[in-house]
């Protein structure tokens, strides 16, 4: 039950971060001066920043779980550092999954939910940017 609660809290934090950043970008982008393409580039960088922050939220959770008793661990090409947790989180969030680090125990459930969450967040960003681009494209 603790694993479910912790995983749910991590996903809730990530979804709220994503929502807040996209909401703020929605308000900010129309106020930026210059060509629309610059606003799109600002939107892309905002989305990338959101994803990076979200990945680090998962990385901190992995780091905590790895070093706490009874949560599982990460093994393989892994030294227990926060940086290695960040690397692992980047590969899981993007569903790239190199396979050089393997989750064991209860920690495995967070990797599954991170992959699903990453897919949804990336899709959400793509949809947001598509709508933003459609606002100013000429229908020729």
The pTM for the full model equals: 0.94
Query: Which residues touch 16 (CB under 8 Å, ≥6 apart)?
Result: none
> Is 11 within 8 Å of 113 (Cβ atoms)?
yes
Per-residue model confidence as pLDDT tens digits over 109-131? 999 999 999 999 999 999 999 99
Angle between helical axes of 2-28 and 107-134 (0-180°, round to 10): 20
Per-residue model confidence as pLDDT tens digits over 9-65? 999 999 999 999 999 999 999 999 888 889 999 999 999 999 999 999 999 999 999
The verdict on domain 2-28+36-134 having CATH code 1.10.287.70 is yes
Return the sign of the alpha-carbon dihedral for residues 109, 111, 116, 120. Answer: positive
- Domain regions of the chain by residue span: 2-28+36-134
Secondary-structure breakdown of the chain: helix, strand, coil percentages, each rounded to the nearest 5: 75, 5, 20
């Amino acid at each position: 039950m603790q694993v479910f609660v912790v995983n749910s809290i991590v996903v809730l934090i990530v979804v709220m971060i994503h929502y807040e950043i996209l909401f703020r970008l929605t308000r900010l982008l129309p106020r930026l001066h210059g060509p629309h393409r610059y606003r799109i580039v600002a939107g892309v960088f905002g989305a990338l920043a959101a994803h990076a922050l979200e990945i680090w939220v998962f990385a901190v959770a992995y780091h905590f779980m790895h070093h706490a008793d009874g949560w599982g661990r990460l093994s393989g090409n892994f030294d227990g550092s926060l940086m290695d947790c960040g690397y692992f989180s980047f590969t899981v969030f993007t569903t790239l999954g190199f396979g050089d680090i393997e989750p064991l125990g209860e920690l495995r459930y967070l990797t599954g939910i991170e992959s699903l969450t990453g897919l949804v967040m990336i899709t959400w960003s793509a949809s947001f940017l598509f709508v933003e681009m459609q606002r100013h494209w000429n229908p020729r």
